[in-house]
A and B are shown apart, each in its own frame.
Chain A
Amino acid sequence: MIALERREAPHPWAPLAIPLISIASAFAAGAVVLWLAGVNPMAAYADLLGEPFGSGFGIAETLVKATPLILTGLAVLLPARMKLWNIGAEGQLQLGAIGAAWVALFTPIGHSPVAMLGVIVAGMAAGALWALGAGALRAWLNVNETITTLLMNYIALLFVDYLIYGPWKDPASRGFPLSATFPLDARLPIIIPGTRVHLGLVLALVAVVIVTVALSRTRWGLEVRVIGDNPRAARYAGMNLARHTLLVMGIAGGLAGLAGVGEASAIAGRLQRGLSPGYGYTAIIVAWLAKLNPAAVVIVAVLLGGLYLGGDSLQISLGLPIAVVNMLQGLIFFFVLGGEVLAGYQVVIGRRRVEPVSTGSRAAR
């Protein structure tokens, strides 16, 4: 007989094989949807995958897309280490862009030598405050942070609309909902000439290092991990859960805000609609695929950033919306979730083995 049997330990290749097989399966499932919609899946995938990794330009643009994904990925990862779901990275990113625009356009700092620093600090602060709203409700009133962070995304997007259709609209934009362009001093510099790769990438990588070290080498990191594993034990040990919740959410919001600074100040050069095609939601997949490991976030962000770039070229060549990419991301997420569970099992043919005793923990996650 053929049966599924629980493995005592995950297969040694599982951490690599699961994402790869999941992505391949997601593409296969996506091909069916594309084909049903009258699109040639082969042509679509050739564009989707050829663009990001096929040329030097493509690789540079992939890094451009990976930058906000690294930062928002960390913004999901850090609270997730404490079992908090920050689904608000999208809104925190928008607030970061708003903060950056405010300093760049409406304060004297925008035209000063410290403009860049001011823009970064303001964007991170705005993102952090936005996330702290949901963090405070969670910490003090025990309000479900999943729902509040998400609802605040809609408010943040409307806030951007309000500003660019209203008080911050550039009189010179001939009616288009755009802010004025940032002064040159307030724009994050390009770090690879001839590309759009900007300082944000360096800052994102620095953030990865800091988060990695802070989580693994500091008392704070230890406490965050203990709270995530066993909040009751953490409370008995005298850890202040509310303070940790606030701090983690604040840092997360600041990181997502930094992503917004990059998109507004380095890429668009202004506050406008569509600064993010949904980076804050993709960030959830980034953090999950990275297994909440900050270093792995970089790799996953580059992979999914490439997918976004491919989505751009699909838009141009086949006229398909970027939503195709979001659909594929959803499928990848499905297959990863299923694949992780199935990797805990093995196919057994013809013999029965005694069920190992210690199997409870894996399913309980």
Chain B
Amino acid sequence: MSPVTVAVLAAAVRAGTPVLFATLGEIFAERAGVLNLGIEGMMLASALAGFAVTAQTSNPWIGAAAAAAAGGCLSVIHAFLSVTLRANQVASGLALTIFGTGMSAFLGRGYVGVPGSGFQATPVPLIAQVPVLGPILFQQDPLVYLSYAAVPVAWYVLYRTRWGLEIRAVGEHPEAADAMGVDVARVRYGCVIAGGVLAGLGGTFLSTAYTSMWIENMTAGRGWIALALVIFATWDPVRAVVGAYLFGGVNALQLHLQATGTSLPTYLLLMAPYVFTIVVLVIATQETARKRLGTPAALSVPYTRTG
């Protein structure tokens, strides 16, 4: 494999990482039956939080913790409105995105153009030297490694633990889960907050690892792309990896084409990830319909105990 291909694939992994975090988070929320369209807003707020705290403390891990906390806090608003008050989940999520986008642009105005610091590439000893796979997967920064770990953990929690069983029960049949003694509201709160924390990590990855700066609206729709990838992944953390890296690949490829000076105009190349996501969404929708793999049955339906 040529060094250029390896470099593009390594870039694909990096570009896919923020959406991978966000997609994993949304899978948890949706598996529990809560649709959260606020990912974009949470990612933006936490990208700013991560950048600002990293700049203050010179420690990107503290920045990442702040970003995760910011994402988690914002997600509580959505959980309160949609779980406790049973408000419309689409509307509440959109409100969260509008709020997070506006607030981050306002609070971040002093950080635009400020040179930041952040995570550095940290090759993993020994396996970083493996040909091809080493440079693609193991010469990345620590947050990328964290995302590698998050996937099997998410899968294990969802399919092999009691928690996961409860989460899936709450998302498929909350009445039955309730009858079994599962606290539906608590499970949903937990999953929405987990989603916020993971979106927060995706956000801080953008501002302290993928780049080292804060730009207004820097997520550029990645929160929405994550929502599409959740459907592509059929709510499965392992398939989320495929979707995220495919997206990352398209992104890396268009950046590579820009850098090598193609005749295609920059702004048309920049459209590629969005067009790609729509195409993927269309295909995924047909697949899920054909194989009857499905949306969690209680997705976006508020739960009211009857009787």
A and B form one complex? yes
List residues of A whose CB falls within 8 A of some B CB. 33, 37, 85, 87, 137, 141-144, 146-148, 150-152, 154-155, 158-159, 161-162, 165-166, 281, 284-285, 288, 320-321, 323-331, 333-334, 337-338, 340-342, 360, 363-365
Tally of A-B residue pairs with Cβ under 8 A? 148
CA distance A50 to B301 in the complex (A): 42
Q: Sorted from nearest, which 4 A-B pairs have the closest CB atoms?
A: A330-B99, A326-B102, A327-B102, A323-B105
List, in ascending order, chain A residues with CB within 8 A of B124's CB: none
Which residue in B101, B102, B231 is a CB contact (below 8 Å) of A144? B231
Q: Main SS of the interface on chain A?
A: helix
B 269-296 to A, binary, CB cutoff 8 A, 1 in contact else 0: 0110011011001100110010000000
Q: A152-B274, A337-B85, A337-B92 are in contact. List 4 more A-B contacts (CB 8 A).
A: A144-B281, A151-B221, A323-B101, A334-B99
Contact A341 B87 (CB under 8 A): yes
Quick one: given A146-B37, A334-B81, are A154 and B106 in contact (CB under 8 Å)? no
Taking the complex as formed, is B127 at the interface, i.e. its CB lies under 8 A from any CB of chain A?
A: no
Interface check B62, CB cutoff 8 A: no
Shortest B93–chain A CB gap in Å is: 9
* Contact between chains at A327 and B281 (CB < 8 Å): no
Number of chain B residues close to chain A: CB under 8 A: 54
**A162, B266: Cα distance in complex, Å:** 8
- 30 A-B residue pairs with CB within 8 Å: A33-B103, A33-B106, A37-B107, A141-B282, A141-B285, A142-B289, A144-B281, A146-B37, A150-B221, A151-B224, A151-B278, A152-B278, A155-B275, A158-B268, A158-B270, A159-B271, A165-B267, A166-B267, A284-B98, A285-B95, A323-B109, A326-B105, A329-B102, A331-B99, A334-B95, A337-B91, A338-B80, A360-B306, A363-B302, A364-B302
* Chain A residues within an 8 Å CB radius of B37: 146
> Are B88 and A329 touching (Cβ within 8 A)?
no
**B209 contacts chain A at the CB level, 8 A cutoff:** no
B96 at the interface (CB under 8 A from A): yes
B228 CB, min distance to chain A CBs, angstroms = 5
Q: Which residue on chain A has the smallest CB distance to residue B284?
A: A143
- Chain A residues whose CB sits within 8 angstroms of the CB of B103 once the complex forms: 33, 323, 327, 330
